[in-house]
């Protein structure tokens, strides 16, 4: 098939599209819709964009762009920017992937830790009640103890994950694993 030789501007667009496609494709596990993934990837190559520009560039409806940009803001992948003298809201993509990584994974893991540790706490209290209950047969007690211990082990993981979040947010992980590596 024909290549865009002789048209540098077209080649630039093609190059951008390659990266846009890759970013959009690998964002499928970030809990965003294809529209939002495409929007983010498109914004990655722009300084800032308005809803109308998003709509035009992606060929999608304004409400869809509105919802998508809102979602991306929620996960700190897009920021609202201030444009003096215009009514239109403008948004800019977070291009520092380290910050995106930190924001996204820390939020996600923090949620996971919080929800699971809370459930574990309640469950362990229940198991302790069962263990102390005089109606409990030896089998029941053994079972409760087994589950209790199993949850104790998983607590180790959740505490570790919590530490990981803390070390990411504090930047200490970059002492352990510098951004620039000599390989």
Partner DNA sequence: AATAACGTTAAATAAATTCTGAACGAAATT
Partner DNA sequence: AATTTCGTTCAGAATTTATTTAACGTTATT
Residues making contact with DNA (CB under 7 A) = 33-36, 50-52, 59-64, 66-70, 87-89
Which of 1, 2, 85, 135: binder of its own copies (CB under 8 A)?
135
Report phi then psi at 78, rounded to 5. -140, 145
Report phi then psi at 53, rounded to 5. -65, -40
- DSSP strands (E only) in 69-146: 78-81, 90-93
Distance CA 144, CA 126 (A): 9
Closer to its own copies by CB, 16 or 89: give it: 16
Which of 26, 56, 61, 170: binder of its own copies (CB under 8 A)?
26
Distance CA 106, CA 166 (A): 8
Site string for its own copies, 55-94 (x = CB under 8 A): ----------------------------------------
Which of 18, 84, 87, 182: binder of its own copies (CB under 8 A)?
18
- Selection from its own copies, DNA, none that 3 binds (CB < 5 to 8 A by kind) is none
Instruction: Indicate whether 181 belongs to the interface with its own copies (CB under 8 A).
Output: yes
Give the count of alpha carbons within 13 A of 9, CB side only. 0
Instruction: Indicate whether 101 belongs to the interface with its own copies (CB under 8 A).
Output: yes
Cβ neighbours for 90, distance < 8 A, ≥ 6 positions apart: 48, 49, 50, 80, 81, 82, 83
- DSSP notation for 13-32: HHHHHHHHHHHHHHGGGTT-
- Selection from its own copies, DNA, none that 66 binds (CB < 5 to 8 A by kind) is DNA
Minimum distance from residue 62 beta carbon to DNA (Å):
5
Which of 79, 119, 152, 171: binder of its own copies (CB under 8 A)?
119
The number of residues that bind its own copies (CB under 8 A) is 67
């Amino acid at each position: 098939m024909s290549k865009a030789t002789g048209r540098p501007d077209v080649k630039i667009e093609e190059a951008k599209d390659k990266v846009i496609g890759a970013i959009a494709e690998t964002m499928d596990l970030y809990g965003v819709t294809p529209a939002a993934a495409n929007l983010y990837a498109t914004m990655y190559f722009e300084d800032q964009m308005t809803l109308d520009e998003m709509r035009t560039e992606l060929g999608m409806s304004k409400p869809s762009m509105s919802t998508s940009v809102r979602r991306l803001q929620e996960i700190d992948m897009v920021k609202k920017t201030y444009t003096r003298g215009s009514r239109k809201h403008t948004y800019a993509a977070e291009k520092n992937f380290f910050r995106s990584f930190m924001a996204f994974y820390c939020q996600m893991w923090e949620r996971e830790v919080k929800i699971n540790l809370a459930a574990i706490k309640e469950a362990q209290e229940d198991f302790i009640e069962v263990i102390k209950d005089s109606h409990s047969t030896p089998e029941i007690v053994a079972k409760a103890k087994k589950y209790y211990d199993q949850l104790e082990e998983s607590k180790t993981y959740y505490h570790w994950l919590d530490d990981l979040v803390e070390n990411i947010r504090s930047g200490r992980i970059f002492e352990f694993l510098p951004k620039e590596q000599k390989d």
